[in-house]
Structure 1
Amino acid sequence: MMDVVIYHNPECGTSRNTLAQILNAGVEPHVIEYLKCPPSRVMLRQLVDRAGMTVRALLREKGTPFAALGLANPALTDDDLLDAMMAHPILINRPLVVSPKGVRLCRPSEEVLDLLPPQRGAFTKEDGERVVDDAGNRVTNS
Structure 2
Amino acid sequence: MERGQTVAMTQSARARWAALSRGVVSNESFPGSDLTSVVAGAMVFEHVDLSRADLRLATMRAFFKMCSFAGANLRGANLRGATFAGCDLTGADLRDADLRDARFSYVNTGSDNGRTNLTGVRFEGADLAGASFDRVIGYVALNDEGA
TM band (smaller chain): under 0.3
Higher helix share: 1
- Report the TM-score, using the length of structure 1 for normalisation: 0.25
- Report the TM-score, using the length of structure 2 for normalisation: 0.24
User: Which has the bigger relative contact order, CA under 8 A and spacing at least 6?
Assistant: 1
Name which one, 1 or 2, has greater alpha-carbon Rg: 1
